[in-house]
Structure 1
């Protein structure tokens, strides 16, 4: 498994999602969403999941944290739901039918669930396990070590720990009924500081 094994879709929605993420995210958060897509695709390959909508997965991965950006921060909705609605608007512009736009919203919302049943939503499952790896260090030893190091070398973590902790803590303080509060309560700050990929001497 190598980085060049995974190619971003060349569709209108995928390109637009990538451009939006690059325009609004800091370098650390942009690298996070790109890594999340790569981890998701790697888990799909490792687990031999052949029923994946790769355009949906990529578009959702690029936009899954756009709701913590001030320009898209919603006064009441959780950041993942706000980001999901950004994805609905973007994919509507790309010509997706209503049912598929809803899938983008579902995948982004479900990435913040404690777990997702792949039989119910394989793309939501893949994004959940991928972000679990990148934020909490879950399954950090499952993917091939050489591949992980190649991804980290190309898309380094930079100041992700500080930035993500600050953004999610702010979300939790203003919207305590949302998943952000659960993340803070479950120790996301400590998980990021002690993340195995933060301290890998070969990363």
Structure 2
């Protein structure tokens, strides 16, 4: 498995999502969302997942943490719900019908579920396991080691641990009923500080 095997769909939605993320995310968070897409596509190949909507998966992956940036930090909604609403607006502009726009919201929201049934939502499942790997270090040996190193060389972790911990902890303090609080209480800081990929990247 190589990065060149995983080609992002080139559509108005995917281009718009990347442009927005690149403009608003720090380098560490931008690398995180791009790695999350690569991990998600890699899990789809590894597990032979059929019927994946790759445009939807790419768009949701790139936007899944946009609710953490000040421009889209909602006063009441969880950061994944706020990000999902950004995905709805962007895909509306790209001409997606209402049902597919709702799917963008669902996939972004479900990435923060403790687990997603692939029979319910295969794209939500793939993004959840991908972000679980990149943030919590879940299933660190599931993907081929050479592929993991290639991805980390192209998109290093930089200061993701400290930055993501700070942003989610701040969200949890203001929105204690949201998933951010569960993540913090579940040891987010420690998981990021001791993430198995930290020793594989020079960033």
* Cα distance change of structure 1 residues 74 and 202 upon mapping to structure 2, 3 Å threshold: closer
Please provide the CA RMSD for this pair: 1.0
Offset of 1:202 from its aligned partner? 8.4
Alpha-carbon displacement from aligned partner over 1:32-73 (angstroms, at most 9, x marks no partner): 000000000000000001210000000000000000000000
Q: Identify the residue that residue 141 of structure 1 maps to in structure 2.
A: 141
Q: Identify the residue that residue 195 of structure 2 maps to in structure 1.
A: 195
Offset of 1:200 from its aligned partner? 3.1
Q: Which runs of 5+ in 2 are unaligned?
A: none
TM-score (norm 2): 0.98
Q: Identify the residue that residue 10 of structure 2 maps to in structure 1.
A: 10
Offset of 1:201 from its aligned partner? 6.9
Contact 1:67 1:73 in 2 (8 A): yes
The size of the alignment, in residue pairs, is: 203
Distance 2:70 2:200 in 1: 32
* Cα distance change of structure 1 residues 169 and 201 upon mapping to structure 2, 3 Å threshold: closer
Distance 2:200 2:63 in 1: 27
Distance 2:198 2:49 in 1: 29
Distance 1:82 1:135 in 2: 19
Q: Which runs of 5+ in 1 are unaligned?
A: none
Contact 1:149 1:202 in 2 (8 A): no
Aligned counterparts, 1:19-168, within 5 A: 19-168=19-168
Contact 1:3 1:150 in 2 (8 A): yes
Distance 1:98 1:58 in 2: 18
Offset of 1:2 from its aligned partner? 0.3
Distance 2:50 2:102 in 1: 22
Distance 1:74 1:202 in 2: 34
Distance 2:35 2:138 in 1: 14
Q: Show structure 1 runs of 4+ deviating over 4 A.
A: none
Distance 1:77 1:58 in 2: 23
Q: Identify the residue that residue 182 of structure 2 maps to in structure 1.
A: 182
